[in-house]
Structure 1
Amino acid sequence: MPQPSPKSGQNALHSRPRILLADADPVETFSALLRSEISARPLSTDDCVVELSGGMDSSMTALALAETVGPVRTAALTLGGSVGEQQHRRRKEIVARARLGPDLTVPVAEFGPFHPTGPRASGLPTSPTDGTYAEAMNELYSRLSAAGARWVFTGVGGDELCFQRPEERALTGDPWNLHPVPDHLGPRARDTLPHIADDLAPASVLHASTLLALAVHSATAMRHGLWPLSPLATPLVLRFGESLPLAWRRGKQLMRLRLEQAGYSREVVCPPLRENFAATCEAAMLQNGLPLLSQWLPTSILTRQGLLDPAELISECATVATTGRGASELYRPLAMEAALRSLPTPAAVPAP
C-alpha cells in the first residue's frame, strides 16, 4: 500500500513493494495498463509515431501501441559501428514481429552535440535543458513533422518504473549512478553546494528525473508541432512498478520477460552490447565542442560570474586535446554557456 512520507501533507504518496499472490501475472497486468493509457485518447496509425531506439523502455511503448492502435510508424536516432549493427538487427526484429509501420532513422553521429550547423553552435536561442542530442532530435522531429506525424510516443519513465530503493541497493550492491562534482566549478558555484538540498520542492507523483526528461522531450517535440506521450511516465503505471518485488524491477526483468513471452530473440531480450550515445557524445565534443569552448573561454559569461574556474577549464581543455579523452565531461559547461550566449542582450530587446 502507498506509504505517507513524514511530510505527507506536502509530498505525493508512493508505493512500497508488495508480496505477489500465487496467481499474479505482472507481465499481463503491466501490458494491460499500458494499453489502457494509450487507448485513453483517439489515435490513428496515420498521425502516430513511436520513438523506438530498441531499448527496453521504448520497446514496451511500441508493443503496447501495436496492440492498441496498429502498425504505427517508428523512428529513432541510430548508432554507428558494431553497436549500431546490433541496434539495427534488434529494431528490425521488433518492427517485424510487432507488425509496426514504416521506419525513419537519423544517424546521431551526423548531428552530434554542437554540430557546426546546429542551433547551439550558430548562436540561436537554446536552453541548457534541451538535451545532449538536441541537434539530432531537432532533425528527427523536423522530418516526422514534415511526414504528417502529430503524436510522438516515447519510452520516458522506464528507468524510474524499475527504480531500486536505497535500502534495496544496499542489499544488492548495485551502485548509484552519481556524477562527481567537477573540478572546473568556480567559487560562487562551490559556495552553493552545501545548500543544494535546501528548500527542495515536495516529492511529486512522478520522480523528478522523469519530469526533467519529459520537459526535455516535450519542449523539443512541441517546437515541431508534435505532441509527446509517454505511457511509462504515468502515475498508475509508476505506482504499479513501485509495488513490484525487487526481482521484477532489478535489471528491468519485467520488461525482459514481456519480450521473452512475446517470442523475441535473445539479442532483443538481453543484448550483449550496451547501446548508448556515450561514444557519440565523446567524439562530437572532441571534434566540435572542445574548439568552441576554447574559443568562448576568454569571454565566458560563466567564468566572469565566478560559476566556472577559467584556469581549471583551460587545463582540462589542454588535457583533453592531448589525450583525446574526457571531452564529454566538458559538455555541461559548454551547454550552459551556449544557452546564456543565445539570450538577447539588453540593447537588442525592442522597446515596449
Structure 2
Amino acid sequence: MLKATIALADLAFDPRWDGQAVAFGASRIEPFAHPALETLLVRTDGQWFATVRERRTEGGAPARQLDVDAAEFEQRYRECLLWPLDYAMVEAAQAGCRLKLRAGVFGALPVYARATDDRLELSWDAGDLTRAPTALDFEIASHRLALHTIYSARQIAVGIVMLTERASLSVEPGKASYHYPPPVQVTTLAQARERDAWLASFAAQLREAVDARPFVAARSALELSGGMDSATVACGLAAIAAPRSSLGILLEGETRPPQLKRRGAIVERLGLHDETVEIAARSPSLDLRPVPGQRLGFNQEYYLEACAALWDRAASLGCDRLYTGVGGDELFPDYLHELASEGDTLEAQRERTHRAQVDTLLTPRAREAARGLHSFGAPAGPVPATALAAQACRAADIARRGLWPVNPLSDPRLARFCHQLPLEQRRGRALMQRYLQQQLGEDTFPAGYRKETFEQVFPALIAAQAGMLTEQLRECALADLGLVDRRGVMALLDAVAASQARAPTAVLVSFLWMERLARQWG
C-alpha cells in the first residue's frame, strides 16, 4: 500500500505532505495512488503517524494532513488501528528516531521491508528491494520446493520481511524487531438452525462483505472463471448494484465445454459485458533466462501471462478495481475431529502425493530442512493463511496495472460465519452451492458439479518444451546452492515429459519458478 526510503536520522525532522508523499528530510513515504485509497498524516508534538487505507465511501481528498493536540492524536490513532478495512500505518517518535510499521487484517497489498543499521526500505513490490545483492533463504526455499504453503514474515530473500496481517515492525538506529499478533480463538461451531436460515444468513454476510467498500460499476471488473467462488462474488455484487464487466481465462481440454456453458449462463443471467483470454494463446513462459529490467516477486502467479492480459484488458476498459474469488477455497474447511484420521486432511494427502518426487529432486540437506517443523509461520488470523498467501502471489502484479484487488470471500467476518457452520452446511460447499442455485438456477451448479482447473496446462507445455529446458538446465543455480540434485532435476523433467502426470508436474513447476528467481539474483 506504500513505498518508502527512510534514513532513520531524518525522523528527527517534522513530516509534511508535499502533494505526492509524506516527506521529512531527504526521506519519503509514497502511498499507492489510487481512488480506492486515502492517506492521513496526523502530527502532534514530538510524534506523528501516517496511514494509507481503503476508503469506506467514494470521493473525498486523496490525502489530509492534521495538526492536533495529544488527546486528539490518541483518538485518531485508535481510530486508525480499528479501521474496518485494510491499511498500512507508519508511526514515528522523533526523539530517538524510532519508527513502527503496522498492517491491517486483509493483506490486500502487503508491504515488504528491508532494514539496515540506519536505513529502512519499504515497498508493496518485493522486486524493488532486490536491487541490492540478495541471497536465497535455504530453509524457506526447501519448504517451497516441497510445496509447503508458508505465510510468514520471513521470505525467500534473506534480510527481507513481509508485513503479515496485524503484524508490526519496529525500527530504531541499529535495531529492528518484528512482532506477530496473538492468534485468533479456536472456532466454535454454531448451534443448529433451520436450513433456510443458514442460506439467508450467508446471503446477508456476503452482502456485507461486498458492500463494505464503495462499488462503482463503471470502474469495476470481475474475474469470472465459471467456478463457484467467482460466481458467488458476481451474485453478491448483483445484490447491491448491477455489475457490468466480467473477465475470464478460457481453458482447454475436457473442462472447457462445461466452463463455457457455466460462464455463458452466469453472464446472461446477470447481464454482464464479458471479455475472455484463451490460455492457449497466453501460455506460461518456461524460459529460465532472466528478462532485463524485470524483477520477480517472492510469490509468483504461475499463469501470469494469461492473468496479465486479463488485467491489462480491465485497465483498458477504464476499470480501477478488480473483484476476485480469492478466499473461497478456505470458507468451508473440514476439521480434524470430523475426519476419519489426520491422514485424510488435504495437506496430508498432498504431502503423500508429492513426497516421492520431492525426495528425488532435493539434496539430503534440503530434504531435512523441508521435513523440519518450522516455527516462523504467522499465527492463525481472521483471514485464513492460504487465502493471504494467494493474495500475495497476485497483488503486486494487479497493482502495477492501476487496479486495486478486492477479495470479498476473504472478508474476516464472512470467514468466521462460514467456519462456524455445522458440517452438513460446509461439506462440499453445500451452502454456497445452494446460494448459487437460488440466485442463478439449479442448472448452473448442479449436484456433482466439477470444478474447472488449470492443472492440465503445464504437463503438455513442459512435454513440448522439454528440449529447451534440458538445454537451459545444463547449468542449474539451485544445484549450485546445494538445494537440488542435478540428476534428480533431469529425472523429474524426463518423467513429466513422458507421463504428463500432475503430481511430478507440480513439483517441477515449483522448481522452475525458483530456478528463474535464483538466476535473476545471480
Per the normalisation by structure 2, the TM-score is 0.59
- The CA deviation at 1:69 is 2.3
- Mapped partners of 1:120, 1:249: distance in 2: 45
Inter-CA distance 264–190: structure 2 relative to 1 (3 Å threshold) = same
Q: Which position in structure 2 is the counterpart of 1:314?
A: 490
Inter-CA distance 46–210: structure 2 relative to 1 (3 Å threshold) = same
Q: Higher helix share goes to which structure?
A: 1
Flag the structure with larger Rg.
2
- The CA deviation at 1:236 is 0.3
Contact 2:286 2:512 in 1 (8 A): no
- The CA deviation at 1:22 is 3.9
2:198 is equivalent to residue 20 of structure 1: no
Q: Which residues of structure 1 form unaligned runs of 5+?
A: 1-8, 346-352
- The CA deviation at 1:173 is 8.9
- The CA deviation at 1:272 is 4.7
- Mapped partners of 2:295, 2:213: distance in 1: 33
- Mapped partners of 1:76, 1:95: distance in 2: 11
Contact 1:115 1:135 in 2 (8 A): no
Contact 2:199 2:434 in 1 (8 A): yes
Q: Which position in structure 1 is the counterpart of 2:263?
A: 91
Aligned match of 2:396 in 219, 225, 235?
219
The one-letter amino acid paired with 1:109 is A
CA RMSD in angstroms, aligned pairs only: 2.6
- Mapped partners of 2:491, 2:403: distance in 1: 42
- Mapped partners of 1:214, 1:166: distance in 2: 26
- Indicate the larger mover: 140-149 or 236-245: 140-149
Q: Which position in structure 2 is the counterpart of 1:236?
A: 413
User: Could you list the per-position Cα deviations for residues 240-297 of structure 1 after superposition, in whole angstroms to 9, with x for gaps in the alignment?
Assistant: 0011001101100011100222252434334654411111122223224x34532332
- The CA deviation at 1:87 is 0.6
Q: Which position in structure 2 is the counterpart of 1:140?
A: 310
Matches within 5 A, 1:57-96: 57-96=229-268
Q: Which position in structure 2 is the counterpart of 1:336?
A: 514
Instruction: Report the 3-state secondary structure (helix = DSSP H, G, I; strand = E; otherwise coil) of the residue aligned with 1:37.
Output: helix
- The CA deviation at 1:66 is 1.3
The one-letter amino acid paired with 2:458 is C
Matches within 5 A, 1:150-299: 150-170=320-340, 175-176=345-346, 177-179=349-351, 180-181=354-355, 182=358, 183-270=360-447, 272-288=449-465, 290-299=466-475
Instruction: Report the 3-state secondary structure (helix = DSSP H, G, I; strand = E; otherwise coil) of the residue aligned with 1:228.
Output: strand
Q: Which residues of structure 2 form unaligned runs of 5+?
A: 1-180
Contact 2:265 2:444 in 1 (8 A): no
User: Could you list the per-position Cα deviations for residues 174-193 of structure 1 after superposition, in whole angstroms to 9, with x for gaps in the alignment?
Assistant: 65242433120123312313
User: Could you list the per-position Cα deviations for residues 75-101 of structure 1 after superposition, in whole angstroms to 9, with x for gaps in the alignment?
Assistant: 1111123421211111111122223x2
Contact 2:437 2:444 in 1 (8 A): no
- Mapped partners of 1:159, 1:153: distance in 2: 16
- Mapped partners of 1:237, 1:274: distance in 2: 22
Contact 2:189 2:419 in 1 (8 A): yes
Aligned match of 2:477 in 301, 304, 329?
301
Instruction: Report the 3-state secondary structure (helix = DSSP H, G, I; strand = E; otherwise coil) of the residue aligned with 1:77.
Output: strand
- The CA deviation at 1:58 is 0.9
2:274 is equivalent to residue 103 of structure 1: yes
Contact 1:232 1:238 in 2 (8 A): yes
Q: Which position in structure 1 is the counterpart of 2:221?
A: 49
Q: How many residues align?
A: 333
Contact 2:245 2:273 in 1 (8 A): yes
- Mapped partners of 1:23, 1:186: distance in 2: 53
Contact 2:319 2:403 in 1 (8 A): yes
Q: Higher strand share goes to which structure?
A: 2
Q: Which position in structure 2 is the counterpart of 1:129?
A: 299
Inter-CA distance 311–263: structure 2 relative to 1 (3 Å threshold) = closer
The one-letter amino acid paired with 1:126 is L
Inter-CA distance 271–21: structure 2 relative to 1 (3 Å threshold) = closer
- Indicate the larger mover: 54-63 or 66-75: 66-75
Contact 2:222 2:246 in 1 (8 A): yes
Inter-CA distance 44–267: structure 2 relative to 1 (3 Å threshold) = closer
Per the normalisation by structure 1, the TM-score is 0.86
Inter-CA distance 121–278: structure 2 relative to 1 (3 Å threshold) = farther
Identity across matched positions, percent? 30
The one-letter amino acid paired with 2:314 is L
